[in-house]
């Protein structure tokens, strides 16, 4: 665009914050007023499987769209997206990265709604807030993910007990009162059935996993295989070292 006398409003007033180098960039988005949104759309309580699968599908689209996202983790109405340590996505400009993530996820949520809720009309526009945090080393990024997964575990325990009390005839206020203060992991573990979906207990991790596929057969009839990375959703433990030992390449990009 040609310069005009008004161009100073950009030059002198617009400042881009660039996120520090040598840090993993985490964008965490969270549904706004999803307590209400989940009621309006009659989500199953405590965990609506279709709603979780919808957000997982949106996260998969995010990894397809933005190759520098190396890992994401989601539970309830929130999702965290981790950009690789050395990303130069939009020169690490914070407002670009944050706004693109929030808007792309939100659009995907609206576009995919009918695939997961074919018999439910989307009655109001879902919207999400977002924040960016930088983690400077492997320990803090792994602790970040562990923090979210522990949170998932505790909230799932609480919510499962809460809705059991409600289904047994208590009002929501009474159920809240019953659990208030007395709530602890050990105290309520007896309520929980072990058959509960691992998605509810572990949350969902989305990342590129190594898969092997047969591409063709050679002249001797033996399969020729190719290794490639496919975006995968799994409900694994990401607190302990096992997952990260098996998938070291994820954070080493």
Does the protein bind ligand ATP through residue 156 (CB under 6 A)?
no
Quote the CA–CA distance of 179 and 168 in Å, as a whole number.
Answer: 14
Quote the CA–CA distance of 26 and 141 in Å, as a whole number.
Answer: 9
CB of 216 to Mg ion, least distance (A): 42
Candidate list 23, 76, 160, 205; residue touching ligand ATP; CB under 6 A: 76
Does the protein bind ligand ATP through residue 237 (CB under 6 A)?
no
Does the protein bind ligand ATP through residue 35 (CB under 6 A)?
yes
**DSSP line for 223-235:** EEEEEEEEEEEE-
160's contact among Mg ion, ligand ATP, none, with CB below 5 to 8 A by partner kind, is none
Candidate list 19, 25, 52, 62; residue touching ligand ATP; CB under 6 A: 52
Mask: binding to ligand ATP, 85-104, rule CB under 6 A, as x and -?
Answer: --------------------
Q: How many angstroms from the chain centroid is the CA of residue 102?
A: 12
Quote the CA–CA distance of 150 and 56 in Å, as a whole number.
Answer: 19
185's contact among ligand ATP, Mg ion, none, with CB below 5 to 8 A by partner kind, is none
In the 8-state DSSP scheme, what is residue 22? S
Question: Which residues in 125-152 are b (16+ Cβ under 10 Å) and which e?
Answer: ebbbebebebbeeeeebbebbeebbeeb
22's contact among ligand ATP, Mg ion, none, with CB below 5 to 8 A by partner kind, is Mg ion
Give the Cβ contact number of residue 192 at 10 Å.
14
Candidate list 75, 78, 152, 162; residue touching Mg ion; CB under 5 A: 78
Cross-strand bridge partners of residue 106: none
| Residues 3 to 62 in contact with Mg ion, rule: CB under 5 A | 22, 30-31, 34
Number of residues that bind Mg ion (CB under 5 A): 8
Q: Find all residues with CB under 8 Å of 242, minimum gap 6, and list them.
A: none
Does the protein bind Mg ion through residue 74 (CB under 5 A)?
no
Size of the chain, expressed as the number of residues it contains? 253
Number of residues that bind ligand ATP (CB under 6 A): 15
Q: Which two tokens stand for residue 1?
A: 């665009």
Does the protein bind Mg ion through residue 203 (CB under 5 A)?
no
Whichever of 127 and 243 has its CB closer to ligand ATP, that residue is 127
Question: Which residues in 224-240 are b (16+ Cβ under 10 Å) and which e?
Answer: eeeeeeebebebbebbe
Does the protein bind ligand ATP through residue 151 (CB under 6 A)?
no
Site residues, Mg ion (CB under 5 A): 22, 30-31, 34, 76-78, 136
Site residues, ligand ATP (CB under 6 A): 30-35, 38, 43, 45, 47-48, 51-52, 76-77
């Amino acid at each position: 665009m040609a310069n005009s006398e008004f161009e100073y409003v950009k030059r002198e007033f617009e400042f881009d914050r660039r996120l520090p180098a040598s840090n993993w960039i985490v964008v965490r988005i969270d549904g706004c007023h999803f307590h209400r949104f989940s009621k309006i759309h009659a989500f199953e309580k405590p965990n609506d499987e279709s709603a979780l699968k919808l957000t997982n599908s949106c996260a998969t689209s995010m990894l397809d769209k933005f190759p520098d996202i190396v890992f994401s983790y989601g539970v309830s109405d929130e999702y965290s997206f981790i950009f690789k340590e050395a990303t130069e996505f939009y020169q690490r400009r914070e407002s670009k990265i944050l706004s693109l993530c929030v808007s792309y996820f939100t659009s995907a949520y609206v576009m995919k709604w009918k695939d997961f809720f074919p018999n439910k009309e989307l009655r109001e526009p879902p919207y999400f807030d977002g924040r960016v945090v930088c983690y400077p080393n492997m320990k803090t990024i792994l602790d970040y993910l562990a923090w979210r997964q522990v949170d998932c575990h505790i909230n799932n325990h609480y919510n499962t007990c809460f809705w059991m009390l409600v289904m047994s005839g208590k009002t929501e206020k009474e159920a809240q009162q019953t659990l208030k203060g007395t709530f602890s992991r050990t105290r309520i573990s007896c309520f929980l059935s072990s058959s509960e979906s691992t998605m509810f207990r572990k949350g969902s991790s989305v990342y590129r996993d190594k898969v092997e596929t047969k591409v063709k057969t050679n002249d001797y009839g033996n399969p020729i295989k190719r290794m490639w990375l496919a975006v995968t959703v799994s409900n694994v433990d990401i607190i302990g070292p096992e997952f990260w030992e098996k998938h070291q390449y994820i954070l080493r990009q």
